[in-house]
């Protein structure tokens, strides 16, 4: 037995628990680094953590340890420690030392997260982890884990606020009453019905961009680079991601995806507090919703989102959309701001994170047949 894996049953026996991983093995074997990495990732995605740890170790063992061979050796070893941690299996000290010698930030990440899981001491965990998230693509699991730990420091209720502000002490701006949406062209009936519904609310300064308007708006306000990156988006969802950060940071207001709906103006005001400069919602596993959020203009958080947006668009064009342009850039921006705040290098942002229950109270989903009839952004 190694990592609680029975080697006597062979690779096919080990992988029989996960058909997707078994298919990779049957097609590509277990001697190629990338095949092993894909097998391990597939096992981890399907929550077979002991088996994932085993195959990450196999990949690490055959790695040349060259800094030009991908996936990098320290990434494999870090992924193994994460899988062992999730499986509640012990670490080996020699592997930790190897990881520390290869990449200190990744070592800090796994050690800090282990500390947090064991004692829920968020401050000590962050002190250990430092800004380890910078070693990862925006939106990877590290950002989500880090944000979750930060919430213990800044969002103790896990529901309403990172810091309560007293109404009357006007040291903050108010999110403008603007509501922005985007649909590239020829919206189907259900989307047009949503547009009509939002217009009939008669409350917001409503602006719905189409592709042609978005192209011209980006050019007029952000120049040729913004226009070109928008046009090079692989999917309308990626284009909408790119547009939303620019628009909200320019005007201030609320962004709403065209395929979701505000339940009512009354619920909007009951759920979304008016005394913060930023309002974000979280999924049930603490991923930030970018389909509905609010911010003031020229926001320090959204300015940081723009940095990641452009960096990813130029350097990591093939990155998964959610990481490249979607929720990932928001998580990275918040993590950076919280970390700077703890270091005393930045003013604490006026920001609130609301949980997935609050999102469900203010947002209504409606049937959107186009999602099952066309290519999904999840494969882009």
187 confidence band (pLDDT: 50, 70, 90) = very high
Please say which residue of 102, 129, 150 terminates a domain: 102
* Contacts (Cβ under 8 Å, ≥6 apart) of 202: none
190 plus 338 within the same structural domain: yes
Answer whether residue 226 is part of any domain.
yes
Residue 33 in this model has a pLDDT that exceeds 80 = yes
Among the residues of 132-223, which ranges form H helices?
141-154, 189-201, 211-222
pTM of the model: 0.90
pLDDT digits (tens, 9 = 90+) for 151-166: 998 865 544 344 434 4
Answer whether residue 147 is part of any domain.
no
Answer whether residue 165 is part of any domain.
no
Domain that holds residue 290: 178-379
182 plus 331 within the same structural domain: yes
Please say which residue of 102, 117, 141 terminates a domain: 102
- Strands 363-365 and 253-256 turn out to be unpaired
pLDDT digits (tens, 9 = 90+) for 84-103: 999 999 999 999 999 999 99
Please say which residue of 52, 77, 102 terminates a domain: 102
Min mean pLDDT across 113-117, 328-332, 376-380 is at: 376-380
Candidates 248, 265, 258; CA nearest to 362 is 265
61 plus 205 within the same structural domain: no
pLDDT recorded at residue 372: 63
| Tally of domains within the chain | 2
CATH code for the domain of 188: 3.90.550
pLDDT recorded at residue 379: 52
371 plus 241 within the same structural domain: yes
* Contacts (Cβ under 8 Å, ≥6 apart) of 312: 137, 138, 319, 323, 324, 325, 329
Answer whether residue 157 is part of any domain.
no
Q: How many C-alpha atoms does 276 have within 13 Å on its Cβ side? A: 24
Answer whether residue 117 is part of any domain.
no
367 confidence band (pLDDT: 50, 70, 90) = confident
**Cα 94 to Cα 24, 63, 102, distances in angstroms:** 30, 17, 12
322 with 380: CB under 8 angstroms? no
Answer whether residue 42 is part of any domain.
yes
Answer whether residue 145 is part of any domain.
no
SS3 254: strand
254 plus 355 within the same structural domain: yes
Answer whether residue 152 is part of any domain.
no
């Amino acid at each position: 037995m190694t990592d609680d894996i029975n080697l006597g049953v062979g690779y096919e026996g080990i992988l029989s628990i996960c058909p997707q991983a078994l298919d990779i093995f049957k097609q590509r074997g277990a001697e190629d680094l990338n095949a092993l990495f894909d097998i391990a990732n597939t096992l981890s995605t399907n929550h077979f953590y002991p088996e994932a740890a085993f195959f990450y170790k196999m990949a690490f063992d055959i790695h040349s340890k060259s800094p030009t061979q991908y996936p990098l050796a320290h990434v494999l070893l870090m992924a193994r420690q994460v899988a062992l941690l999730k499986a509640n299996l012990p670490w080996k000290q020699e592997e930790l030392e190897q990881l520390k010698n290869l990449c200190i930030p990744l070592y800090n990440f796994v050690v800090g997260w282990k500390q947090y899981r064991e004692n829920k001491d968020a401050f000590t965990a962050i002190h250990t982890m430092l800004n380890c998230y910078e070693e990862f693509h925006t939106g990877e699991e590290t950002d989500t884990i880090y944000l979750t730990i930060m919430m213990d420091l800044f969002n103790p209720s896990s529901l309403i606020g990172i810091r309560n502000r007293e109404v009357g002490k006007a040291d903050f701006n108010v999110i403008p009453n603007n509501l922005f949406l985007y649909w590239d062209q020829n919206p189907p009936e259900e989307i047009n019905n949503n547009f009509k519904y939002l217009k009939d609310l008669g409350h917001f300064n409503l602006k719905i961009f189409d592709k042609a308007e978005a192209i011209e708006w980006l050019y007029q306000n952000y120049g040729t680079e913004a226009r070109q990156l928008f046009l090079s988006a692989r999917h309308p969802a990626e284009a909408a991601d790119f547009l939303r950060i620019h628009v909200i940071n320019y005007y201030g207001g609320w962004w709403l995806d065209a395929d979701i709906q505000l339940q009512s103006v009354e619920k909007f005001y009951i759920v979304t507090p008016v005394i913060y400069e930023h309002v974000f919602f979280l999924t049930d596993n603490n991923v930030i919703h970018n389909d509905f959020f609010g911010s003031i203009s020229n926001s320090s958080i959204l300015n940081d989102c723009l940095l990641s947006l452009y960096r990813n668009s130029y350097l990591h064009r093939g990155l998964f959309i959610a990481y490249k342009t979607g929720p990932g850039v928001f998580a990275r921006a918040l993590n950076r701001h919280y970390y700077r705040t703890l270091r005393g290098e930045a003013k604490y942002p006026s920001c609130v994170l609301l949980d997935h229950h609050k999102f469900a109270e203010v947002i209504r989903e409606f049937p959107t047949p186009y999602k099952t009839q066309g290519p999904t952004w999840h494969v882009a």
